Structure 1
């Protein structure tokens, strides 16, 4: 489990090792031409970083990428398997395409990472075949270790830390507050009506994931409130779920003003995420850096704060005791 945060790093470092091994170590012919191909690709990335906003810079960078990968493929073919050449080209082009497109969303990492994973696997397979010819027993040992790692990773990511954004396989996740709120609303509805027909207002800002979690409730509305919401325009249902929407100035204050007299408010986290601040690590002392990294990799303690999108649960005062039970 401690190694899980390295899953991207392993693929990146492994693919870099594969480039060096397949291009310069395994086969020593035409190494100068392959090196030229890499130099051209690196020059293209540098040019894009400097001039990428200009149309000429973008087009010229793409032409250089095509030329560099073409040289690499041409002078690698025959010395390496077609599969290896394909992965080398795919890795460069996949990384370049996403970079040039300016896409930085975390789920798009799959596109450049997939060929890196396959290329790293090809490298490990090449080494493995050489190393295990006289050590067949290692196959069984690695198989057992892999099963244990798979079991441990599955348990960590889907059961223990499935909603923990400090886990790198989780980027943005609905907070555990959501399921807690749903349990309390469910209990409240059954105590109030004996069924799931209690009227609930869930503001549009919070419609996901509540549209799923409240799917069995019969009377759920999803309006959108504004900073100009008029008096009497909000239906006074037992439960009102409202988003803390900083992008809509005045919204939060107006909703709170309209509901203050009749409702009890409780703030929760709807979605949470962790965007690591590299400066916290870079600006620390060496011992502090080591300690922070160790605490994260071993115990998932993030070195910078979690971000969140919050919600407020408004519970009508005359039935608030049913929501909090004996706590209120």
Structure 2
């Protein structure tokens, strides 16, 4: 375990060493420290993880968001350029995808390739954190990252959340290695990671704020404790007392600022401030409708319905510019109290990368403004929309369905580390619990955000499991056969579930005999458990039992992830699938291909309710596709041999207008979604009554295990396809 003390950056004069030599030396040092079983373990996990992420990668229908990301990446790859639009988050994924399209061609596979590779890279990252997680802890974390249902599913999904997981974990690793080693290179790497993070998604603000808060608490806590004890507030008026408190806090902060030159949490806190402070400028828009700024009658972030949501309007542009300049000046001031030259190095790394990405490599300079202001302004406005409209307990629910292993063990680990009060363990608990709390508080709740929540729980669980393993006296356990406890816990759980879920066959005597046998077996196992508890002691019993429970939950996690990724990838019986393009779309595409007309097939897609997506991606090369918005007057003209895909709201008019030359319309489930009414409106009373209702909790368990009971109530928004009678095809619509 690395020392808790911070090692200051050496200031002695040393010969200049080329960067490549330093990187090579660091790589050789890491390679020499990796034992053979670690190398074999990580190599196996990478092979398994990459295979799982690439297997049948292009089969699932393109989600609405995926089609947006893929199409604009393709446009960039084919020379149409790209202009940052905060509705689709940062520009990084578009530019990397465009490069992949240019090099490997455009397809559903290459559209998802970036995320599969980054999800695989995430598996290797605990290797860089062994000094804190321990060898076993890092390997356990890598195993969990490999099989995590959320990590697996969204490593096969063209959204940027898996990228954010890589940048976030990288920042955390660099922070702790900087604490332990004090080398400036970790700040330079962190600056690059921050640039990639801000160019990926606006959740970067949550990550930086959370990491910065941790550093602030660590740096300020001893100062504030001393300052608080010296404040005299008795016998003075409240304003004077408040002034003394504020002054004491400010003086403590200045002390921390002065001490930040020596490294540690204070230094990393100031690093985050001086590098990213201008990026926070648009937070001023939070106050535009408050008495603080409303008197100016200026718009700092335009609301819904405006041409550029999140942008300042009119005189608001002047205020926005002044705020950005002020933030830059404030960064320079703090940097002068910290380390001016180090700031210049870090800021250059950050802003060179950031500007290149937001301007699409200097082809769109408007990206500087949209990146530094509108990116955040847009999502400040969107918080009022509450996209998804999910209940406050949404993440409790979806985590228990998919990430139950790290969530359950992570809660135990958080309690353990908070009681132990070891700094790194407390940080892991802080990271996990704070992330969960922030996403629960945020108005937008979506299943893909589970990636961000699962990550810290997985890392904490990996370390916790390694400590559990180390507590077991393995030689004694193996010698006396106590290791059988590991198998006892899963067996007990399976028998208990079999007894609870047993459905009578109708033969009363047989049913009673089976249930009695299962009950006796359970009682026998309880008796053996009590005996082993007394024989091996509480600590050994709990440690080995925890490993048995982990083995069972790991097997269930693998099963859950495989079913979600490969069996139900575009079928919203999975909560993680949410709203998804139906596989009816890809079946219809296959029918179009079978006509033999290729990209010449004349098709008209009704764009009502945004139904042009994901067709716009699938027909990106088509030469004869149109996207009008249909209405009752749309079907009075001649369509010749054109294929029509009509929104269900226009079906009756299409049936009437097309009946003479077209076949009957075939139903297509364009997009479908999980039946959210099944979990909305939960109250403590409903939960208790459900637990007392055997059929209710049996139904819940059957869903948890097999996703049973919801397929027949899936919601959908449909369209109908109309073929001219002369077009050769045999498409049959959804039932």
Are 1:219 and 2:624 counterparts?
A: yes
User: Which one of 658, 662, 668 corresponds to residue 259 of structure 1?
Assistant: 658
Residues 123-142 of structure 1: matches in 2 within 5 Å? 123-131=464-472, 134=475
CA distance in structure 2 between the partners assigned to 1:11 and 1:266 by the alignment: 45
Q: CA deviation at 1:179?
A: 1.8
Q: CA deviation at 1:206?
A: 2.6
Of Structure 1 and Structure 2, the greater helix share is in 2
Q: Deviations over 1:231-283 (max 9, x none)?
A: 42x744431112235xxxxx454444433443221112112221340379857
Asked whether the 8 Å contact 2:641–2:726 carries over to 1, the reply is no
**Structure 1 residues 228 and 14: alpha-carbon distance in aligned structure 2, compared to 1, 3 A threshold:** farther
CA distance in 1: counterparts of 2:731 and 2:447, whole angstroms: 41
Shift of 1:307: 1.2
Query: How far off its partner does 1:310 sit?
Result: 1.2
Distance 1:120 1:273 in 2: 32
How many positions carry a matched residue from both structures? 257
User: 8 Å contact 1:182–1:214 — kept in the other structure?
Assistant: no
Q: Show the counterpart of 2:408.
A: 13
How big is each residue's C-alpha offset from its partner over 1:147-190, in whole Å with a ceiling of 9 and x where there is no partner? 98787566433333222221344223222212221112221x21
Matching of residue 183 in structure 1 with residue 524 in structure 2: no
- Per the alignment, residue 317 of structure 1 pairs with 725
The corresponding residue for 1:203 is 606
Contact kept? 1:201, 1:222, Cα under 8 Å: yes
Name the SS for the 2:666 alignment partner: strand
The DSSP-based 3-state class of the residue aligned with 2:469 is: helix
Higher relative contact order (CA 8 A, sep 6+): 1
2:713 paired residue among 305, 315, 318: 305
* Alignment of structure 1 residues 104-183 onto 2, 5 Å: 104-131=445-472, 134=475, 155-183=562-590
Q: Counterpart of 1:91 in 2: which secondary structure? A: helix
Question: Paired residue for 1:273?
Answer: 673
C-alpha distance in 1, partners of 2:440/2:561?
31
Q: Helix, strand or coil for the counterpart of 1:316?
A: coil
Query: Which residue number in structure 2 is paired with residue 296 of structure 1?
Result: 703
Report the alpha carbon displacement of residue 230 of structure 1 after superposing the two structures with TM: 7.4
Partner of 2:76: none
Name the CA distance, whole Å, in 2 between partners of 1:117 and 1:108: 15
- TM-score, L = length of structure 2: 0.31
Structure 1: segments with no counterpart, 5+ residues? 28-75, 246-250
Say which SS state the counterpart of residue 313 (structure 1) adopts: strand
Partner of residue 96, structure 1: 437
Alpha-carbon deviations, 1:268-310, whole Å to 9, x = none? 2112221340379857662212331243233321347211121
Q: Deviation at 1:199?
A: 0.8
Secondary structure at 1:241's aligned position in 2?
A: strand
C-alpha contact 1:201 1:237 (8 A) present in aligned 2: no
**1:96-153: CA deviation from partner (whole Å, max 9, x where unpaired):** 3223331222222333332223223332222122227547999xx99x9999878756
Q: Detail structure 1 runs of 4+ shifted over 6 Å in the superposition.
A: 135-138, 144-151
Counterpart mapping for 1:224-263 below 5 A: 224-226=629-631, 229=634, 231-232=636-637, 235-244=639-648, 251-263=650-662
In structure 2, runs of 5+ residues without a counterpart are: 1-147, 150-399, 487-546
Name 1:66's counterpart in structure 2. none
- What does the per-residue CA deviation read over 1:189-224, in whole Å, with 9 as the maximum and x for residues that have no partner? 21xx5x442211122233222233344544222222
Deviations 1:74-100 (A, max 9, x none): xx3xxx142x22222222332332233
Change (3 A) 1:110 1:291: same
Of stretches 198-207 and 155-164 in structure 1, the one that deviates more from structure 2 is 155-164
Take 1:11 and 1:148, find their aligned partners in 2: how far apart are those partners? 13
Question: Is residue 243–residue 311 contact of structure 1 (8 Å, CA) maintained in 2?
Answer: yes
Structure with the larger strand share: 1
Determine the C-alpha separation between the residues in 1 that align with 2:441 and 2:560: 33
Structure 2: how far apart are the matches of 1:217 and 1:305?
35
* Matches of 2:408 and 2:732, distance apart in 1: 55
Q: Is the 8 A contact 1:184 1:324 kept in 2?
A: yes
1:8-47 aligned at under 5 Å gives the runs 8-24=403-419, 27=420
CA distance in 1, matches of 2:732, 2:584: 19
CA distance in 1, matches of 2:665, 2:448: 35
Tell me, in whole angstroms, the C-alpha distance in 2 between the residues paired with 1:151 and 1:95.
Answer: 23
